[in-house]
Amino acid sequence: MNKYLHKEGKDLWFTEIDRDNLKIDYRIKEVLYSDKSPYQHIMVLDSYDFGKMLVLDGAVQTTSLDGYIYNEMISHVPLSIHPDAKNVLIIGGGDCGVAKEVSKYDDVEKIDMVEIDENVVMASKKYIPEVSGKYLDYRINFIFTDGVAFAKKQPDEQYDIVIVDSPDPVGPAIKLYDEDFYKDVYRILSDDGIMVCQSESPILYEDILTSTYEKISKIFPIARLYTAVVPTYPGGLWGFTLGSKKYLDPRIEVFDKDTSYVNKEILSSCFDLPEFLKQKLRQE
Amino acid sequence: MNKYLHKEGKDLWFTEIDRDNLKIDYRIKEVLYSDKSPYQHIMVLDSYDFGKMLVLDGAVQTTSLDGYIYNEMISHVPLSIHPDAKNVLIIGGGDCGVAKEVSKYDDVEKIDMVEIDENVVMASKKYIPEVSGKYLDYRINFIFTDGVAFAKKQPDEQYDIVIVDSPDPVGPAIKLYDEDFYKDVYRILSDDGIMVCQSESPILYEDILTSTYEKISKIFPIARLYTAVVPTYPGGLWGFTLGSKKYLDPRIEVFDKDTSYVNKEILSSCFDLPEFLKQKLRQE
């Protein structure tokens, strides 16, 4: 047992606390993994309603019920916009779900995956293969180091796509929301490169989303916002910010990947923003 | 205090229990209203993160933070599809948010609102005017009775649009998910009429959504499913089923209502379903 778990009678519950004002309790069948790494507390839980869950420092990161939605949306949108991506960098993404989606593109030659915590990759691969994928693609290079420092050290124009699959902007991850970091991402992207990052809930964290959009708009000639639903993230509606040097729209006529959420229609309608968000971005 | 509320130190919390496996705890500033009606337990709570909440028998129905999303989506989609709706029936919808949205259409002449529990209307009007609207439109007729029995007694072809704004299919509300009820709705709709009902979360309650779609497909020549995000409903992604006798698509070129979620783009992209749902409906 640890501070995130408690018993009620015979039942085991895991409590996620969001911003002191919201707690979500999941009834748990079994604790599959629980350990402290040098970076964080890691758990894999088997829950009744959401299947297996990866939990870092008490926050749900992905589940076998709905993890594919987030991973498909952060991967297939940029990969459908870029006509010829060969080198892809993933920053974060320890559950390996993004790497799994990127691997569906045969033309991609190299996938560098920079994750600070090797233990997250190990636990995900072992306990949540539904999310991480059963096999390791030979094109994936795991680099276990800090993503911000890694980006800073790379030569110019190394990558066609950079996907920033970061946790919430708390603790060390806060550097992944910095303008300086986005400038490095711009620099290491090829002259038609595209970056995408998750931008939290437009309803509960509107300020994070609008400030990310503002920073990326300043650095990239093209900035676009898109949304998807992620049931296990508080707020449900989730924002993604895309910065592009050249290309604008997904080439939806060619989408032929095996997916559960993304399809041709979703690839274009994900850019149709609710009215309150359109108005908010217009004000910026 | 009642069984839905508890104190932790100085803090007041409200706990919503969903299907025994998920509990959501909201930190509460103040209990604005709490009483038992002949039908259910009614509370209006002022919460830290979601503003004011209407809670019936312990389940959150609407909040001032995100209530507009559900109410706009269940109202403006059918009203944008029907070119000339004059008579509208709302079944349920005690928070008055749907009636408020329908009132935005000047050509609508009559809005019959059939809600079983007068106390819900009273509490919503008094404590959550952000959702219910401050003023009562002269076209709204409140009829406090059982919606299923009301539909059964109406003459044929009375309404152009019927909106079923029902709670979850638990207890008495279960009749609002019955094929016999949908047949009555079909009967009381004019020959170009449209009905819409909420169909729960496609992710957590896939069976409710697909069975509703199946029933409406059998009765109406046109059945369509659309989705929206409702952050305070467990599962986040929410389904709506539409049955139409004649008209198919929203006339988005004319959408000019003052809304916070719905706009021209959303009116058409809400019908773009995630791949898993498309495949599920294809199997039915």
Of A236, A260, A268, the CB nearest to B236: A236
Chain B closest-CA separation from residue A106 CA (Å)? 22
In CATH terms, the fold of domain A5-61 is Spermidine Synthase; Chain: A, domain 2 (2.30.140)
Burial class (CB in 10 A: 0-12, 13-18, 19+), A1: exposed
Residues A266, B276: C-beta atoms closer than 8 Å: no
Listing DSSP states for B102-145 in one string gives HTT-TT--EEEEE-S-HHHHHHHHHH-HHHH-SS--TTEEEE-S
List every span in chain A annotated with CATH 2.30.140.10.
5-61
- Which are the catalytic amino acids of A? 165
Of B229, B272, B276, the CB nearest to A237: B229
Q: Are A238 and A227 in contact (CB under 8 A)?
A: yes
Residues A25, B24: C-beta atoms closer than 8 Å: yes
Chain A closest-CA separation from residue B268 CA (Å)? 9
Instruction: Quote the ipTM score.
Output: 0.89
Joined together, the tokens standing for residue B259 give: 């809304």
Chain B closest-CA separation from residue A104 CA (Å)? 17
Q: Identify the architecture of domain B67-283 in CATH.
A: 3-Layer(aba) Sandwich (3.40)
CB of B27 within 8 Å of a chain A CB? The answer is yes
CB of B24 within 8 Å of a chain A CB? The answer is yes
- Contact list in A for residue B233 (CB cut-off 8 A) is 236
CB of A230 within 8 Å of a chain B CB? The answer is yes
CB of A29 within 8 Å of a chain B CB? The answer is no
B195-215 b/e with 16+ CB inside 10 Å = b?
A: bbbbbbbbbbbbebbbbbbeb
With a CB cutoff of 8 Å and minimum separation 6, the contacts of B91 are B114, B147, B150, B151, B162, B163, B164, B165, B166, B176
- Which are the catalytic amino acids of B? 165
In CATH terms, the fold of domain B5-63 is Spermidine Synthase; Chain: A, domain 2 (2.30.140)
Of B22, B65, B262, the CB nearest to A203: B65
List every span in chain B annotated with CATH 2.30.140.10.
5-63
pLDDT tens across the length of chain B (284 residues)? 789 999 999 999 999 987 789 899 999 999 999 999 999 999 999 999 899 999 999 999 999 998 999 999 999 999 999 999 999 999 999 999 999 999 999 999 999 999 999 999 999 999 999 999 887 889 999 999 999 999 999 999 999 999 999 877 777 788 888 999 999 999 999 999 999 999 887 777 778 888 899 999 999 999 999 999 887 777 778 899 999 999 999 988 879 999 999 999 999 999 999 999 999 888 76
